[in-house]
Amino acid sequence: MKLNYLLIFLLHTTIALPQAGSESNITSIQSTILYQGFGETQGHIGTGEYKIYYDNLDGVLDKPIFFVDGFDPNDSRNIPAMYSLLDYGDPVENLADVVRDQGFDLVVLNFPTYTRAADGAQINGGADFIQRNAFILIELINTINAQKQGNEENVVIGPSMGGLISRYALKYMEQNTLNHDTRLYISFDSPHLGANVPIGIQYLFNYMVNGDPGITEAEPLVSGLLNSPAAKQMLIDHYLGHVDGSGIDQDNNITHTPIGAPNFRDAFQTELDGMGFPENTRNITIANGSNSGQMTGTPGLELINHTFDTGQQSGFDTQATIQLHFAPSANQTITVTDFLGEINLFGSWVPAMFYSADAMATASSDGLDSAPGGQFDMHAFDDGSNAMITEFVNNLNSQYFCFIPTLSALAITDNNWYASPNLNNAPFDDAFVPTDNEPHVTLTEPNITFALNEILQGTLSVEDLIATKDIITLRQNPVLGQRLKLYSNTVHKQASIHINDMTGKQVFKSMLDLQEQADIPISLASGMYLLEVTTQKGTALKTKLLVK
């Protein structure tokens, strides 16, 4: 009988403990720190939800990687969808699967829509105040730290707004003597100096919902994308900074150059700048915006000029003509929003509704909409449920606009949003910036390799490193100055380094031992080259190299 009880106990214990590759249930979590945002009469806690994806080796929670959701009004992206965001490559791999194979546990934090108990308010957690969401992350870090085994420090990854939430949380913990036990903070195309939605689109959407057309079906889009607390905290230029008391018409007594949402944008940026970055972590950033000044479209681009059949209203045929433009070139003013609604009276089209708004670029920079940066895909507006939106998207002259300026993702202050970034001015320990603009929070083989190098460094023994897949990568691309920096996660004797120019002519050759960091002096003119690193096992790295 005692043996039977023992077997039952052991079986129950085995079932209860996490197994390799297992997943926890989705668990609700509340912050314990109150936050009172602008317009609120008192402080409130925030509510999030998280799930643990245990590693694929032993299922022991001992090497947590926190993956913090970004801007997600109306909670359209749940935890499984967040996991899928980590897909990359062709054939498709998944970053979460890769790190779990290396013994890491992924802790995914989502900010859902919930009803606040204190006042019954409906809260879109994915677009709530950034500070309140940061306090939820603090509670989660404390919770996981209390559960984890061993002495491995955490990794925190924040894509998009999640990078701001993570930065704020880690720094707040340091300022308030709370131990985050974190060694690495990865910011992924996060708007450290603000984000952008074309001001012409903002004026149009606000007018269509709150003005004469009164299209209430689009209200969730406007309230989430533009009028949520997080949107007002992040958008560099916000229509609320330009309109009169009606909330719709442009106030011509206010400058048409970029202004953030009153009481939100400047207050948040000032607080964030004052806090700075966490100091007890290694801080790195990945940008999706170009490092070479590549634009998305051009300043003043005509985004759309199309007449829509809006059907019958009160027995009359109606139509609407919409013209939108990107913000203009430096020091120029143009009409960015032009709406004309007409009705057909006795065979003639008669104007019935008018709306227009202007925008001006500063003297120091062309408009934000076409600046180098991580791109917003406007096709995402169309989910197939609204024929008018589908028609709108199909008639756009550009699929993308600049959403996260490159300089913002790098936290480099410059009055010219088009300036080539000097990474020496970025407040990060390292940065990855592609040559071409990419859609916002896109994972690529190069930026995944960069991130994996950082995640794996300092956590594996030499024996573990040898057992993993060989990784050789550039630590910096473009190369600034005359030094080529390579990283290898294992030792390679007499590796061959070849650099050819774009005509195929060999311009550099060297043989050397690769072990972790390699700092190789080169003497090359500015331009694009092809780099190939060959080890005794074969070609280990083949990539374009930009020398500045």
Q: Which fold has domain 21-189?
A: Rossmann fold (3.40.50)
Interacting residues of 493 by C-beta distance below 8 A, sequence separation 6+: 513, 536
Sign of the torsion angle spanned by Cα atoms 418, 422, 423, 425:
negative
Percent of the chain with pLDDT over 70: 91
Looking at 18-32, 84-98, 385-399, 461-475, which range is the least confident one?
461-475
> Residue 326: is its pLDDT beyond 70?
yes
pLDDT band of residue 494 (cuts 50, 70, 90) is: confident
Over range 431-446, report the average pLDDT: 96
Q: What is the pTM of this model?
A: 0.82
Sign of the torsion angle spanned by Cα atoms 511, 517, 521, 527:
positive
Neighbours of 347 (CB within 10 A): 5
pLDDT band of residue 2 (cuts 50, 70, 90) is: low
Looking at 25-34, 69-78, 455-464, 524-533, which range is the least confident one?
455-464
Which regions of the chain carry the CATH code 3.40.50.1820? 21-189
Assigned superfamily of 479-547 = Outer membrane usher protein (2.60.40.3110)
Interacting residues of 150 by C-beta distance below 8 A, sequence separation 6+: 60, 62, 63
Rounded-to-integer distance, Cα 131 and Cα 142, Å: 17
Rounded-to-integer distance, Cα 269 and Cα 434, Å: 26
For residue 76, the SS3 value is coil
Rounded-to-integer distance, Cα 375 and Cα 234, Å: 16
pLDDT band of residue 330 (cuts 50, 70, 90) is: very high
Specify the pLDDT at position 495. 86
Specify the pLDDT at position 364. 98
pLDDT per position as a tens digit, 452-472: 999 987 554 333 433 345 667
> Residue 7: is its pLDDT beyond 50?
no
Share the mean pLDDT of the chain. 91
Specify the pLDDT at position 120. 94
Specify the pLDDT at position 467. 39
> Residue 539: is its pLDDT beyond 90?
no
pLDDT band of residue 538 (cuts 50, 70, 90) is: confident
> Distances from the Cα of 443 to the Cαs of 92, 448, 452, 463, in angstroms?
11, 6, 12, 29
pLDDT band of residue 6 (cuts 50, 70, 90) is: very low
Which stretch, 92-96, 378-382, 482-486, has highest mean pLDDT? Answer: 92-96
Bridge pairing between strands 538-547 and 527-535: antiparallel
Contact 502, 530 (CB under 8 A): yes
Residue 169 or 480, more confident: 169
> Residue 375: is its pLDDT beyond 80?
yes
Over range 235-241, report the average pLDDT: 98
Structure tokens belonging to residue 410: 């790098």
Burial of 523 (0-12, 13-18, 19+ CB in 10 A): exposed
pLDDT band of residue 534 (cuts 50, 70, 90) is: confident
> Could you say which DSSP state residue 74 is in?
G
Rounded-to-integer distance, Cα 407 and Cα 417, Å: 7
Over range 103-110, report the average pLDDT: 98
> Residue 15: is its pLDDT beyond 50?
no
Specify the pLDDT at position 314. 86
Which regions of the chain carry the CATH code 2.60.40.3110? 479-547
Specify the pLDDT at position 187. 99
Structure tokens belonging to residue 63: 């090497």
Over range 314-342, report the average pLDDT: 97
Neighbours of 18 (CB within 10 A): 16
pLDDT band of residue 477 (cuts 50, 70, 90) is: low
pLDDT band of residue 221 (cuts 50, 70, 90) is: confident
> Residue 519: is its pLDDT beyond 50?
yes
> Residue 14: is its pLDDT beyond 60?
no
